[in-house]
Amino acid sequence: DQQVKQNSPSLSVQEGRISILNCDYTNSMFDYFLWYKKYPAEGPTFLISISSIKDKNEDGRFTVFLNKSAKHLSLHIVPSQPGDSAVYFCAASGGYGGSQGNLIFGKGTKLSVKP
């Protein structure tokens, strides 16, 4: 049973517009959420995270929103750039040291930003 779901395997957006990547989770014990970006033949790169005590975290063009009641988080990229084209993974953790690596990953969403 998938605990972290990214229901859209792909997303295509025009350059300059907003990209919205969605993620749903089922485990109410998750309290730390992350987004990773992955280019082909490379390891994932950490992008942004959010703790369950917050509902929004912003870093430059990237904003993550968390809706705990809906068990839903989203990543907004504004404005989208061609270099943002990559696979984006959502991940969740139950927290506390030592088990931070026990991140549960979604299957990823491939974002294509067209010039």
Partner 1 sequence: SQTIHQWPATLVQPVGSPLSLECTVEGTSNPNLYWYRQAAGRGLQLLFYSIGIGQISSEVPQNLSASRPQDRQFILSSKKLLLSDSGFYLCAWSVWQGDSPLHFGNGTRLTVT
> Which residues bind to partner 1, rule: CB under 8 A?
4, 32, 34, 36, 41-46, 49, 51, 89, 91, 95-98, 100-103, 105-108
Query: In the bound complex, what is the minimum distance in angstroms from residue 14's beta carbon to partner 1?
Result: 27
CA-CA distance, 106 to 28, in Å (whole number)? 16
Q: Rank residues 77 and 103 by Cβ distance to partner 1 and give the closer one.
A: 103
Nearer to partner 1, 71 or 106 (CB): 106
**Can you give the length of the chain in residues?**
115
> Is 61 or 110 the residue whose CB approaches partner 1 more closely?
110
Choice between 57 and 112, CB closer to partner 1: 57
43 contact partners, CB below 8 Å, separation of at least 6: none
Mapped onto helix, strand or coil, the DSSP state of residue 86 is: strand
Q: How far is the CB of 96 from partner 1 (least distance, A)?
A: 8
Q: Considering the complex, what minimum distance in angstroms separates the CB of residue 9 from partner 1?
A: 9
Is the torsion defined by CA of 27, 30, 34, 38 positive or negative?
negative
Residue 74 CB, nearest distance to partner 1 (Å)? 18
